[in-house]
Amino acid sequence: MTKSISCSDAGKDCGWSASADSEEELMAKVTEHVLVEHKEIELNAENISSIKSLIKES
Ligand SMILES: [Zn+2]
């Protein structure tokens, strides 16, 4: 099971996407990307849970 996420699904004008084998690994990539490219997004519990709701499994 591969988990993936893309910024465009979050309504961002950004072509970034990532995939990983686990949610933990994927969220680590998301956190890194947000800190570099989307400094306006605060990684609080509410935003993290809405980011997690965008994760797709395939
Ligand atoms: Zn992005």
Confidence (pLDDT) at 37: 97
State mean pLDDT over 33-38. Answer: 97
pTM for this predicted structure: 0.92
Confidence (pLDDT) at 53: 97
State mean pLDDT over 32-48. Answer: 97
How is the chain classified by DSSP, letter by letter?
--EEEEGGGGT-S---EEEESSHHHHHHHHHHHHHHH-TTS---HHHHHHHHTT-EE-
Q: How far apart are the CA of 39 and the centre of ligand 1, in A?
A: 10
Confidence (pLDDT) at 10: 92
Q: How far apart are the CA of 56 and the centre of ligand 1, in A?
A: 16
> Domain-by-domain residue ranges, the chain?
3-57
Instruction: Assign 57 a pLDDT band (cuts: 50, 70, 90).
Output: very high
